[in-house]
Chains A and B, each alone.
Chain A
Amino acid sequence: MTEDLIKEAGALGVYASHYLNLNDRDRAIHRPARQTIPILNTPTSPSPSPSIRRKGNPQSLDTSRLLRGQMSRSTMLIDAMNSPLSLNGSLREDDELTAISAFPISDPVLEAADRSELPAPSSFAILMKLIETLAGKDKLGKVVQYGLRILLFYSKRSTSFLQRTHAEGLKFPTGDYKGIAGVIMGLIQRPEFVALFLLKDFETRAAGVVSGLSMYRQMLRCGKTPFRLVNLAYKLSATASVFANKGVEKGILNVRDKWFTPTTLSDLLSVYYSIFDESLLLFKLGVFGDPRFRRFAVKHEALAWYYNIILGLYKSLSKLSTLKESQNQIKINQQVRQRAKALMRNSVNASSSPRSAVTSSYYNYQSPTLRAVSPSPSVRRGLLSSAASTAAQEEIDELGKQIKNEQIEILKLLCDFVFDTITVFELKVYEPVHLSFGLGAGALAMSKVWMQVKEDLQDS
């Protein structure tokens, strides 16, 4: 019906934008309703159902939080009071503390719920988006290039085997038949010819694709050397001006601070690599032709890449260690918070339990330790706030993603390292094993880009 309205409005040219907006809103309204809606209509429900009380996966939609957030504060407090909690302060209170968090629920919870409700983008959509990016094109090209090189190796080996073992009978047996019938009869009599024909055809086609992809990937990388050189030149001139204007001492300090850093080393190695990489591209284009310089460029391109990989591994391992440290710190903070909550919960239970005067007075007595940990009302609200724990959980999840990314990066660099070690030291290794490290590095890099693109699509 809405579509009819839009068409009608469009035809008349009246309120077109209004109907367009209405259509958007309409679509938004007709999204799958949240589970909270029917339960909101029954606020007097005595306690959340067991399914709601379950310990949820932090990344999945925590319906109970939403539910409790929407319910009235008093109802939720009663609910919390009725729930038993072990006095040893064990972390079974995960559910209970969530129940206490009936204080006005914060936006981060709803936002997290909204995000988890979004449908995951399809693989086709991710592939489309991946192909639109330069990194995606490059990594996809690398996977295809190395995959084909491995297949080409086996194809060539099979072809030579067939030619060697059937060398004496490579004459095509047509028998008494002529034309197509002769070919068919020949193929029936000697099926290895079919394999030979298919393999030869594949080799011809794949060889062109491999060289084309190699050049294509170099084209995608090229063009950055001038910027890197300019960057270094200005850094150099800045240091020189410090020497000239502020004296040798300041100049040496400047060199120590600006040049002996991983960033500068990375810049230098990038220039080293890109100069030889782009020189090799110019050789392929026919601009350069000196074979001696070509050999020199091939050697130094591999070496420069090797140094870049080692530096990359160092950086990635350092980053991974920092990320893990940050994640552990947040986890410890969260555990401390949960223990504090458990202690408070115990004190609330103790004060509200219907007991005799004697036991009541006994339980109402707060030990100095308990008094010490009793926070002020504002701190208590802060501790009990589910927003804080959700934010912490989100931070842990985000760090988890970054750690996963870094682990993939390290694996990729290790694959590159093994691949380039074989090239640099000219080790005698079975070629498919050598190539499979290149393929592995390409696949890992592509999986990283894939995850990034997927995340971008989910966010947008």
Chain B
Amino acid sequence: MVYDTLTYHPTIQKLIKFLDTSAGREKCLRLIQYLCRLAAFHLVRNGSVELAAVVRRIQGVVTLDRKALRFLKPLSHLTAASRLYDNELGDAYLRAGAIVKQLGFAAYLSADSLQWFKLLGLVSAKRFPKLAKIASGFWFIALLGSLVQDLRNYQIGYAKSTIEFNEKTDVVEVDKAALRQLASAKRNLGKDVLDALIALNGMGALGHDDGKIGLFGVVTSVMGLQDLWPGN
């Protein structure tokens, strides 16, 4: 029946399941947050100030709720960093990058939780005035670690993906797994560069407007959703 086909369609079931996961919902909210930022910027430019205020309010609520969703997450990043430190068997560059990334995220999310307490009124809004910039700094450090990983993966993928001509079979052989690794490294590199630009802007090092930052955020959020979707 049409009803059964659509209601029990794997994609719809997967979407419902995806929204029921913490990470899936967090990524969706991130996309909404950056979409609101982008939309609010263009609405103000076009003169729709009232609508822009509503969109900004939605952005504020979503930002607050994302912080709640990430509460206590630093613990899992610290655990991951400790495990990576103990594992001495992997590639040294990848390991170092991963440790920096995990520690950076742990520090970033701790600062983020403090920021959440400020927004809730648990901590006075006047205290830690530079907290948002410090949090962005930790995020940037985490992204640097991630960039090291991406570059190393790119190097490894590039070294492996040599095209060889097999004389016996007269066929050009390509290592498909290495090519996939190379493509994945390129994709992650692009995503991390865009996120790094957002983090640098948060630190006050760049002067990008909300339009550009919103766009970067939307792109990286969609890429993040694409990364999560298959594993759901």
Q: Please list the residues of chain A having a beta carbon within 8 angstroms of any beta carbon in chain B.
A: 6-7, 9-11, 16, 20, 128, 131-134, 137, 141, 204-205, 207-209, 212-213, 215-216, 219-220, 223-224, 227, 230-231, 234-235, 237-238, 241, 284-287
Contact = CB atoms under 8 A, between A and B. Distances in A.
Nearest to A212: B120
A204 B71 CA distance: 21
Interface string B69-99: 1011001100000000000110000000000
Q: Name the prevailing secondary structure of the A interface residues.
A: helix
Q: Name the prevailing secondary structure of the B interface residues.
A: helix
Given A205-B122, A287-B54, A128 B65 contact: no
Interface residues on B, range: 35 or more
Contact of A238 (B2, B19, B22, B64): B2
Interface string B52-68: 01100110011011001
Nearest to A19: B89
B89 A6 contact: yes
A286 B51 CA distance: 10
A285 B25 contact: no
Contacts of B1: 238
Contact of B64 (A9, A215, A235, A286): A215
B7 A132 contact: no
Interface string B20-47: 1110010011000000000000000000
A166 B24 CA distance: 54
Interface of B: 1-3, 6-7, 12, 15-16, 19-22, 25, 28-29, 53-54, 57-58, 61-62, 64-65, 68-69, 71-72, 75-76, 88-89, 119-122
A233 B223 CA distance: 32
Contacts, number: 89
A238 B14 CA distance: 23
Contacts of A20: 89
Contacts of B7: 230-231, 234-235
Contacts of A220: 25, 65
Q: List the 5 closest A-B pairs by CB distance, nearest first.
A: A208-B121, A238-B3, A10-B89, A234-B3, A219-B65
A7 B90 CA distance: 11
A215 B65 contact: yes
Contacts of A7: 88
A227 B76 CA distance: 33
A234 B2 contact: yes
Contacts of B21: 134
A205 B54 CA distance: 25
B122 A216 contact: no
